């Protein structure tokens, strides 16, 4: 069953968007929705892009690293000239289960780099352009685990998403005319990727 939704195909005309982690799942659905609304969309992921990807710009890079962020910034600014919308969708964890004592410094650092510092680094590079143009929107995708951590399974991930939420709230109070919000996806019915393929 594929759900249908209606939208204005000119809603994002003239807007330039960057979506991290935009090659599958919710990220792909966000890319499709922005493109269907007329935005010029750039996306990034560690894995190669598929042929069905509607993004105008694809940058294969690992945004959990400083080098990956630098590559994304360079390519996106060169190709789009700036951004109006940033959706930080990238996230996840490969840390082992077993609670706090099972997590090494490397597990914590990798999880923080992916779920918090990727967004911080990208925002720090893109926010000056948004301030100069006098507008922009930054969206951070968080997780319900920021409030309800699974101690035995994803403690580092939950802590990183809690930090991302706090960072996003702080960012929303600083620059005028730049919107910043943080939300957690919920699952009701078909996946968002299916919704965006209509």
> Is residue 187 over pLDDT 50?
no
pLDDT tens track for 50-68: 778 789 999 999 999 999 9
b/e map 32-41, b = 16+ CB within 10 Å = bbbbbbbbbb
- Predicted confidence at residue 154, as pLDDT, reads 83
CA pair distance 194, 24, nearest whole angstrom: 11
- Residue 163 CA to residue 143 CA, distance in Å, equals 11
Reply yes or no on whether the pLDDT at 86 is more than 50.
yes
What is the pLDDT confidence band of residue 186, given thresholds at 50, 70 and 90? very low
94 contact partners, CB below 8 Å, separation of at least 6: 110
Structure tokens at 162: 């809690």
Q: Which amino acids are annotated catalytic?
A: 157
Sheet holding 57-60, edge to edge: 57-60, 40-45, 16-20, 85-88, 136-141, 178-183
In order of start, what are the domains of the chain with their CATH numbers?
16-196 (3.40.50.720)
The pTM (predicted TM-score) of the whole model is: 0.85
Is pLDDT larger for residue 4 or for residue 92?
A: 92
Of the candidates 88, 79, 70, the one whose C-alpha atom is nearest the C-alpha of residue 40 is: 79
> If phi over 0 gives left and psi between -120 and 50 gives alpha, with beta otherwise, what is residue 123?
alpha
């Amino acid at each position: 069953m594929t759900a249908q939704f209606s939208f204005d195909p000119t809603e994002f005309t003239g807007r330039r968007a960057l979506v991290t982690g935009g090659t599958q799942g919710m990220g792909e659905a966000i890319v499709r929705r922005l493109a269907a609304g007329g935005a010029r969309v750039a996306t990034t992921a560690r894995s190669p892009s598929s042929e069905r990807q509607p993004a105008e710009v694809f940058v294969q890079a690992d945004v959990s690293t400083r080098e990956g962020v630098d590559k994304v910034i360079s390519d996106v600014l060169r190709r789009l000239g700036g951004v109006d919308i940033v959706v930080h969708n990238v996230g996840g964890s490969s840390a082992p289960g077993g609670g706090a004592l099972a997590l090494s410094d490397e597990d914590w650092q990798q999880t923080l780099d992916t779920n918090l510092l990727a967004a911080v680094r990208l925002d720090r590079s893109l926010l000056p352009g948004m301030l100069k143009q006098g507008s922009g929107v930054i969206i951070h995708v968080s997780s319900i685990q920021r409030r309800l951590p699974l101690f035995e399974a994803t403690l580092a991930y939950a802590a990183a998403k809690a930090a991302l939420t706090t960072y996003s709230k702080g960012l929303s109070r600083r620059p005028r005319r730049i919107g910043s919000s943080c939300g957690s996806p919920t699952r009701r019915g078909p996946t968002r990727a299916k919704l965006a393929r209509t």
